[in-house]
Each structure stands twice: as C-alpha cells, then as structure tokens.
Amino acid sequence: MQLTELYEQVIAGNFRALARAISLVENEMPGYGQFLQELTFTRFTPVIGITGPPGAGKSSLVNALVGTLLAQKAKIAILAIDPTSPFNYGALLGDRIRLAQHFNNPDVYIRSMATRGSLGGLSDKIIEVTDVVRNAPFDYIFIETVGVGQSEVEIAGLADTTIVVMVPEAGDEIQTMKSGIMEIADIFAVNKADRDSADAFARNLGKMLHEKPAAAWNVPVIKTIANKNEGIEELLAQIQKHTQINQLNPKKAFLLAQKALQLIQKQRMKDIDRIGLKNQIAQLLAQNRHFNLYRFIEKYYT
C-alpha cells in the first residue's frame, strides 16, 4: 500500500490502516519519516492523559470513562503504555487484558505500546504515534501511562488535560506536596473513594490546591469509585470543561523542543558507525595510552 493511500485510509477511520501506520512509525520502517511529514492537524481532538502510581485504578477509570463516552456516541482511541518485555521488547500485560471490556467495540481503538526503556512513563515514540492517531476521526484520545511514580511527568507536555489518579492511602499532606507528579494535574481523581480515609484525603488535597496562586483553571478534586461507575460523570464533566477553555499547554513547547533535539541529533548521527567508532578508539588506545578523546572527535564537528 502506498503511503498516500495509507494516510487517506487513516483519515477515513480505517482501524487496520491506523494499526499499520502506527507500526510503520513505531518501528521506523522505510517511509515513516515521509508519512509523518504528510500529517495535517485540521481538527482538535482532546488528548487526555491518565497517570498516577501503580495500583491507583487507572485502567478501571479509563474503562469507566470510555463506557460513559460511548453512551454519548463518541469514538475513542486509547494508547496504553506498558512495561517492556526483556525478551522481545514488546509490551507486557497489554490492552486485551486491561481494557478487555471495550476491545471489540467498533467505536474504540486500543493500542498497547512498550516503554522500551523510556523513564517518563511513556513510550519513546508516543509523540509520533499520538500525532498519527490525531489524524484519525476520534472524539477523544486517552493515554494511560505505565505508572512509574514521581518521574512520570512527560504526560503533562503531551496531554491537553492531565488527570492524576490517587488513592486514599497515597500518603500524608507533606509527602503529597513534595511529590513531583502532583504538580502536573489539571484534575485530581481520588479513586477507590469508598475507603474510610477517602473524604479526609480529598479534603486535604483540596486545601493544598487552594493555597496555590490564583490561575485561570482551578484544579478540581473528584472522588470516584471506578469499578462501581461512581463519580465518572462528574469527572467527565470536568474533563470537557477543561478542554473547552482553549488554554495552551505551557509544557507542550518544552516537550516538543526536547523531541526536536532528539530527532535532529538522531538524523545528524545516522552516518556514524558506532561499532567502527569503538574499534577505532580501541586501536588508538592500544597504540597510545595517552590518547586524547577530545582531539579525536574534533573531526566530527565539521
């Protein structure tokens, strides 16, 4: 299939074509760069990031939100980031297990992506894949991160709305204030809110948010019980309210600049033979124990 035809089928909402396009980009197959350059962004599709510590119930919350949106006739894409298998570098667990409730729904597209060593809770190709999915006719794109903890802040630069999912046992006020992950939330969801300490935890979280400087968006704290579908409509209402304020995500430019540097560096180093480079250095070291690395690399500057 030609790249132009593949792109046209992605725009038309063909899930098979979308899967092929994502694989093309994720695996850097021939033509993937040209395909990315053809992407256009003529419509706004909200990207909703779901993050938080492991065991907070992120997948259950996504399931519940998607179920509510499907009742409203929405079309949904879900990118579920999973840990990487040490054997084949693919995604462990996978979408079929975590999101089986919606797997066969014709209005839901689910894709598991492996972190492949990325430390920020996302896959190293998540920006490119999200851009591909944004060209398909979806009403919402959900990205569920792997749940690695406080370093999981990349999602704040990618998502239009970031939901941080917490549980009542997440810790006391001081620990909560210190956590880097707490600074990225547009919405807090206190899940498993049927537990005894949920009300007090949500109150304390709300008090800390009120102490922050005034902003255009006041971060809400929503109590949910995902497996009972409680609080989901209220959470969805806040998501829709946040996406409608049309506020540019200030973290997006930083994330894209970092990605641009990574891509430029990769392009400029494509002709460097790493094994050959190592062999050259090994030979020079054997010839001269006073080998100067900085003189050696000067020839690569021009």
Can you give the pLDDT at residue 81? 85
DSSP code per residue over 254-291: HHHHHHHHHHHHHHHTTT--HHHHHHHHHHHHHH-TT-
Q: How many CB atoms lie within 10 A of CB 106?
A: 8
Residues 119, 121, 125, CA angle at the centre, nearest 5°?
A: 85
Cα-flanking dihedrals φ and ψ of residue 145, to 5°?
-80, 170
pLDDT in tens, 10-44: 999 999 999 999 999 999 999 999 999 999 988 89
Cα-flanking dihedrals φ and ψ of residue 12, to 5°?
-75, -10
Can you give the pLDDT at residue 150? 46
The dihedral formed by the CA atoms of 38, 39, 43 and 45, expressed in degrees to the nearest 10 = 170
Can you give the pLDDT at residue 95? 44
- Domains (range + CATH), the chain: 41-255 (3.40.50.300), 272-302 (no CATH)
Does pLDDT of 198 surpass 80? yes
Does pLDDT of 96 surpass 60? no
Average pLDDT across the chain, whole number: 84
Q: How confident is the model at residue 122 (pLDDT cuts 50, 70, 90)?
A: low
Q: How confident is the model at residue 257 (pLDDT cuts 50, 70, 90)?
A: confident
Distance CA 51, CA 29 (A): 30
Burial class (CB in 10 A: 0-12, 13-18, 19+), 89: exposed
Give the mean model confidence (pLDDT) for residues 251-280.
87
Segment of 158-162, 203-207, 233-237 carrying the highest mean pLDDT: 233-237
